[in-house]
Amino acid sequence: MELLQLKYFQTVAFTEHVSKAAKLLNIAQPSLSLTIRRLEDELGTKLFERKGRNIQLSSSGKILLKHVNRIFTEIENAQMEIQSEEHQIANAIR
């Protein structure tokens, strides 16, 4: 499982539409679909259910999305903490 796969999954879950998500991510729709399929294969479960032209998260998808959102929140927190630390070091050196 890679962060890029998780970001793609998060975007598809947000848009509830693979083509719209692909456009937002600036990638080809078939490539995005393949990435989602590989993630589903790796997890051994379907993450989405088709509803006409749109898709909805399955129960497994809802669980994964909850954790993916936390993962990306923690990554953002780490980036902000690192930037703050770097800023303090730069100010201390001056």
Total structural domains in the chain?
1
Which residues contact residue 21 at a Cβ distance below 8 angstroms, ignoring those fewer than 6 apart? 8, 11, 12, 14, 15, 32
pLDDT at 53: 77
pLDDT at 94: 58
What span, in angstroms and rounded, lies between the C-alpha atoms of 7 and 64? Answer: 12
What span, in angstroms and rounded, lies between the C-alpha atoms of 46 and 67? Answer: 16
Q: Which residue has the higher pLDDT, 86 or 30?
A: 30
DSSP state of 45: S
Chain segment 29-78, per-residue pLDDT in tens: 999 999 999 999 999 999 999 887 789 999 999 999 999 999 999 999 99
**What are 62's two structure tokens?**
């809802």
Report the CATH number at residue 40.
Answer: 1.10.10.10
C-alpha dist (Å) from residue 92 to 29, 47, 83, 89: 48, 48, 14, 5
pLDDT for residue 93 is more than 80? no
Q: Which domain holds residue 89?
A: 3-93
pTM for the model: 0.85
